[in-house]
Chain A
């Protein structure tokens, strides 16, 4: 068996055996139940609210998975000497690639379960929803939301890889990854207000330039309008979708490449 494949399979086994991962799988059912219960409080279009909530659940679960389970796996490897068990057998880049493949496999499995649960919830909801209210809702919606969540999670994973490649302690690694990810979720809406014409007209040029720089440099994790369009059966905004895909892919490649480069030189 190929060494990288063996380590990737081992990493997946490690993740599947972790109690936190099992708790995440189990909580997909709670999220589905929660989505059904809360959406019933709405009089109209509750199937669309249900999809909104399922997407929120997917985002929360996968963010937790990447930050806590994947983050602690890499952080423990680097700070507690676990990586040194594997490194005599392979290069640093092969090791890190294998670990990341294992983590992605765990993520795909979680998303697959979540997609199945979301599809079942959608099917149940459609039974009780008048056709007019479900207008535009597609059976593909859970799969599309899942794809979007995958892209977001890979961006967070690249943040985690980047942070773990240079930070020195477990707490430091988890803290930086968490803060960076939190900002990536929160900043876009703040930036939307900050970059409005009214605000820009009032601030000095250098502040405007700074605000624009932060707006462009920081990853936008929300993708809220795209998710809304998918959940509500609206036409996808092509420009926004393209920009979202390009930006996420760009961040993933840039941060992961920087992470791999820094890891190849760090002391373990």
Chain B
């Protein structure tokens, strides 16, 4: 089994509680969304799971053999190297670099046009950088992808294509934890969405139809949660 579980994670920054005893379990191959307003603790939760941020208390249980790919928010990449060189590094770090075609196959998989492969990343648009970052994340042939705001800032076409790629990857058995505040994207992609607010998971919604009505219902739940906490 490649389930990822964490229990009672708490984290505070300079006295401000960012995560409050948060627990969750992700089942192999599933797609779970984390939805919440800015500052709700989504990114902190993801970073605690990945070990980028050390939780004040609680534990994360990830089996040793599990491979996780991570797409950070804003997908910052080293600016002066090319997409091809970056993906080659990802393959080398995962011991998957077989030959010179391997990076090309990955860049092709995330639909980055070949004419951009050997250009420095500083000349890339946000959408193109997201694709390279996704190729980087899947280079190690992961069982899990953890995506932090993967589609924020992309145009409609870019979001549509990115979503299609993610759905394709899920069909191949890759489980995902997707953090976002774009409700429609989560509804299209996820099987369940966890509503996170002020550092706690306050609600869990199962997505069955991936329809617009479900997106509207989810949005109103989010609004209610936010309003309730303001009262």
* Distance of B175 from chain A, by nearest CB (Å): 15
- A7 at interface, CB cutoff 8 A: yes
Give the bracket for the number of chain A residues in contact with chain B.
20 to 34
Chain A stretch 1-24: residues in CB contact (< 8 A) with chain B: 1, 3, 6-7, 10, 13-15, 17-19
A7-B89 contact given A17-B80, A76-B76, CB 8 Å threshold: yes
Q: How many A-B residue pairs have CB under 8 A?
A: 66
A7–B76 touching, CB < 8 Å: no
Chain A stretch 141-171: residues in CB contact (< 8 A) with chain B: none
Considering the chains assembled together, what is the distance between the CA atoms of A85 and B92 in angstroms?
13
Considering the chains assembled together, what is the distance between the CA atoms of A89 and B90 in angstroms?
9
Stretch at the interface among B30-38, B50-58, B185-193, B223-231: B50-58
A81–B76 touching, CB < 8 Å: yes
A13–B54 touching, CB < 8 Å: no
Residues of A within 8 Å of B162, CB to CB, are: none
Residues of A within 8 Å of B68, CB to CB, are: 88
* Distance of A37 from chain B, by nearest CB (Å): 33
Chain B stretch 60-81: residues in CB contact (< 8 A) with chain A: 68-70, 72-74, 76-78, 80-81
B-facing mask of A75-111, CB < 8 A → 1, else 0? 0100011101111111000000000000000000000
- B220 at interface, CB cutoff 8 A: no
- A202 at interface, CB cutoff 8 A: no
A89–B54 touching, CB < 8 Å: no
B76–A10 touching, CB < 8 Å: no
Residue of A nearest to B68 (CB): A88
B-facing mask of A229-268, CB < 8 A → 1, else 0? 0000000000000000000000000000000000001011
Considering the chains assembled together, what is the distance between the CA atoms of A88 and B69 in angstroms?
8
